[in-house]
Chains A and B, each alone.
Chain A
Amino acid sequence: MTTAHDTIAFADALKEFEPVIGLETHVELGTNSKMFCSCPTAFGAESNTQVCPVCLGLPGSMPVVNRAAVESTIRMGLALNCDIASWCRFARKNYFYPDMPKDYQVSQYDEPLCTDGYLDVTVETDAGPREFRVEIERVHMEEDTGKLTHAGGATGRIHGADYSLVDYNRAGIPLIEIVTKPLVGTGELAPQVAKAYVTELRDLMRALGVSDVRMEEGSLRCDVNVSLNRPGDPWGTRSETKNVNSLRSVERAVHSEIERQAAVLSSGGRVVQETRHFHEDTGRSTSGRSKEQAEDYRYFPEPDLVPVAPSTEWVDELRGTLPELPSARRARLRAEWGVGEHEFQTMVNAGALELIEASIAEGVDPAAARKWWTGELLRIANDREMELADVPVTPAQIRRVESLVADGSLNDKLARQVFDGVISGEGDVDEVVAGRGLAVVSDDSSLLAAIDTALAEQPDVADKIRGGKVQAAGAIVGAVMKATRGQADAAKVRALLLERLGVSE
């Protein structure tokens, strides 16, 4: 068991060692039916209601490949600049575990559909953005496994469980596995590069429409390989950390594994080639089984499925369906919006690009769209620990709020309250405005009354302003804004105040 004190600080680790990282990413494709049978793929269905003789591995059943899954894999391969094999086969990966009722998983072994591509990713550094090219070894097709729940015992884990229950709804859902080549030269940026790569993959798959990549439903899973070596030495022994299922965890897994291995190596120990399990709660990993050798899976060509041999015409046709890819889209949007690199990266990191783009398309002023999505709405999303895209505010609602601000019925502070109300389920924009009684107080007499009260409460400030210290007006304006619960136009209050005291700017 690894504990926190068995690590050395990340910065110290990087002074002595260079990391080599590699990522294997599994993503469920968004097809209607499974990889080799026509069972539905809906998430969250009742246990064992989306199964048939094929995905249950019943004797005599025969699989047939889902055309859409092959097309999605080829499109993904093309988007990753891969070569597409003109002929390849599926293979059986034999292992004994009840997550697959057949006792093997159909995958691809030495003949992947796509090979030798790359994906460029950008990470923010103190010295500005830096681009890294992540080389792709292969993209291949396989099927997902069933879901096991360990029952009995105290912990709900394998250790101490009395038995397990299996739901095969997920068994046979099409997966693609994307494997990088070893990535060197990332140094201290290794964790960020790993995260940026998986983020870019996710965005790419969403843009292609091959998967909606719902990470919280486990539709994207990562295995993270890390090794360390001293500068000039050959690469070290690598570990493989499994169970890394969120973008943040990818970064944390690389970070903690660098610290752990550095501690082992610094104290003269040897890193063991093993599978480790990542724990979301602690951000650390524990040792799992020693890695089975590939030959233990006894791969052989799947006899029940015929070879996949995409013609040049088919591949070209699929190439023609590729949409604008995320990197090109980002470059275009940044140019269109005319924003700086740093500000743009903030929008990217917040996951706000699509939302801003949609808001502008709805007629919202571009600057206002950026302001809301990277300001108040992002703050609300963070407060409520939700993705920005899941904040229940529509572009049409932003446009409505903006028009109310433009005609003076709302100010920014009130607009924030409107969004709070919309998100809290108090109704549409106008309903919240009416329900909460939100409106800028434009009636001069009530504003003047509030100004008089504030002046009476702060006579010293009033004297300063009369004496020509106009900048002191802020205290009175603030008091008036507070008294009107923000429902006044601050500029107007200021003008009225100065007029009242007979002072000019």
Chain B
Amino acid sequence: MTAITRAEVEHLARLARLQLSADELDHYAGQLDVILQSVARVSEVAAEDIPPTSHPIPVENVYREDVARPGLDRSVVAAGAPAWEDDRFRVPRILDEE
């Protein structure tokens, strides 16, 4: 039994705005399936008394004080932008969801 269907991979690709060919979909669906099945085997080993872990080190409550400091100089920000206009990032036109 597969852990992820080709249709699910296609859906995820759309959410991530990745345009995949039919061949690529087949290819990645197969690869992702191997990864997911491997992870699923770990789940089989994990007993009820082992809680799911999101953080490897048990650290909590790390905060910074609410003190403002200047950010980057705008020229530095602009230098990293693929496109820049009128002091702002210029991004391609946003198409509506269908």
Q: Which residues of A contact B (CB under 8 A)?
A: 31-33, 37-41, 46-53, 55-56, 58, 64-70, 87, 89, 94-98, 101, 148-152, 158-159, 161-168, 289-290, 296, 298, 300-301, 303, 305-310
Contact = CB atoms under 8 A, between A and B. Distances in A.
Nearest to A39: B71
B85 interface: yes
A48 B74 contact: yes
B66 A68 contact: yes
A38 B93 CA distance: 31
Contacts, number: 134
Contact of A66 (B12, B66, B87, B89): B66
A38 B67 contact: yes
A31 B72 contact: no
Interface string B14-50: 0111000000000000000000000000000000000
A309 B58 CA distance: 12
A309 B71 contact: no
A65 B63 contact: yes
B63 A67 contact: yes
> Chain B contact residues (Cβ within 8 angstroms of A): what range?
35 or more
The 10 closest A-B pairs by CB, nearest first: A68-B66, A301-B54, A67-B63, A165-B88, A52-B71, A40-B68, A47-B87, A33-B68, A166-B89, A309-B60
A168 B72 CA distance: 12
A37 B65 CA distance: 10
Chain A binding surface, main DSSP class: loop
A33 to B, nearest CB: 4
Interface in B47-98: 54-55, 59-72, 74, 77-78, 80, 85-94, 96-97
16 contacts: A37-B71, A41-B68, A56-B72, A56-B77, A64-B63, A65-B63, A67-B63, A96-B17, A152-B93, A164-B93, A164-B94, A165-B88, A289-B97, A306-B59, A306-B60, A307-B55
Interface of B: 12, 15-17, 54-55, 59-72, 74, 77-78, 80, 85-94, 96-97
Contacts of A163: 90-93
A28 to B, nearest CB: 14
Contacts of B62: 64-65, 305-306
Contacts of A52: 71-72
B44 to A, nearest CB: 21
B93 A162 contact: yes
Contact of A53 (B72, B74, B85, B89): B72
A65 B64 contact: yes
B66 to A, nearest CB: 4
A58 B17 CA distance: 20
B72 A158 contact: no
B64 A96 contact: no
Contacts of B66: 31-33, 66-69
Contacts of B64: 33, 38, 64-67
Contacts of A98: 89, 91, 94
Contact of B88 (A56, A149, A152, A159): A149
A308 B61 contact: yes
B97 to A, nearest CB: 5
A56 B60 CA distance: 25
B69 A165 contact: no
A166 B78 CA distance: 12
A306 B93 contact: no
Contacts of A31: 66
A58 B89 CA distance: 14
Given A159-B96, A166-B88, A306-B61, A89 B54 contact: yes
B87 A303 contact: no
Given A38-B67, A307-B55, 7 more contacts: A33-B66, A39-B68, A49-B74, A58-B80, A163-B91, A166-B90, A308-B61
